[in-house]
């Protein structure tokens, strides 16, 4: 009840899905500083991206990855959460982030992946 609300359970009682309480989310955002971020097109803070290790692009209804994000060379985790309707995966994603370990394209609405992947 503290951290998550509206959690769903599997039939066997194990947890399936959690949501963070919004105030706890504020705290997480506060303590994470510049290392973990939610990135939005207009609000990408200048100079911060260098230190960013993990981020989600969370703007509803956008169709592109923000150009400035490519400067975050240290990026390890990238979740494209709000980028609905991305037509192709920009090749730059792979050429820019040498240390990328996780790329989540689940909610992009892509029909197929390029054969080279």
Partner 1 sequence: MLLITNIMQEKLALSPLEWKFMEERKIVQQLLSCEATQEGYPTVIPKTSIGGIGKTSRARLAYNDERVTQHFDVKIWVFVSEIFYAKMITKTVTESATKKICKKEMDALQSKLWGLLHRKRYLIVLDDAWSKDHIEWGKLRPLLRGGLAGSTLIITSRSKKVAMMMDSPIFPYHLKGLDEDDCCALFRQRAFRRGEEEQDPNLLPIGKQIARKFGGLPLAAKTLGSLTRFEREDREWLLVENSELWSLNVNHGGILPSLMLSYYHLPIHLKHCFAFCSIFPKAYEIKEKLIHLWMAEGFLQEGSNHQKILAMSTSRICCGWFSFKMQKNMMMAT
Give the whole-angstrom CA distance, residue 112 versus residue 89: 10
Give the whole-angstrom CA distance, residue 56 versus residue 38: 5
Give the whole-angstrom CA distance, residue 70 versus residue 39: 12
Q: Which of 42, 46, 60, 95 binds partner 1 (CB under 8 A)?
A: 60
Residue 87 interacts with partner 1 (CB under 8 A): yes or no:
no
Q: Which stretch binds partner 1 (CB under 8 A): 14-22, 64-72, 90-98?
A: 14-22
Decide if 61 contacts 81 (C-beta within 8 A). Answer: no
Q: Would you say 29 or 115 has its CB closer to partner 1?
A: 29
- Judged by the rule CB under 8 A, the positions of this chain that interact with partner 1 are 1-5, 7, 9, 13-32, 35-38, 53-56, 58, 60-61, 76-77, 79, 81-82, 101-102
């Amino acid at each position: 009840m503290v951290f998550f609300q509206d959690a769903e359970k599997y039939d066997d009682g194990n947890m399936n899905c959690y949501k963070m309480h919004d105030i706890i989310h504020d705290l997480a955002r506060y303590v994470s500083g510049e290392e973990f971020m939610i990135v939005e097109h207009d609000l990408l803070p200048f100079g911060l991206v260098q230190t960013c290790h993990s981020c989600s692009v969370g703007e509803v209804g956008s169709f592109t990855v923000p150009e400035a994000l490519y400067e975050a060379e240290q990026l390890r985790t990238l979740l494209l959460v709000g980028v609905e309707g991305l037509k192709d995966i920009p090749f730059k994603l792979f050429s820019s982030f040498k240390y990328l370990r996780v790329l989540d394209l689940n909610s992009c609405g892509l029909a197929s992946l390029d054969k080279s992947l």
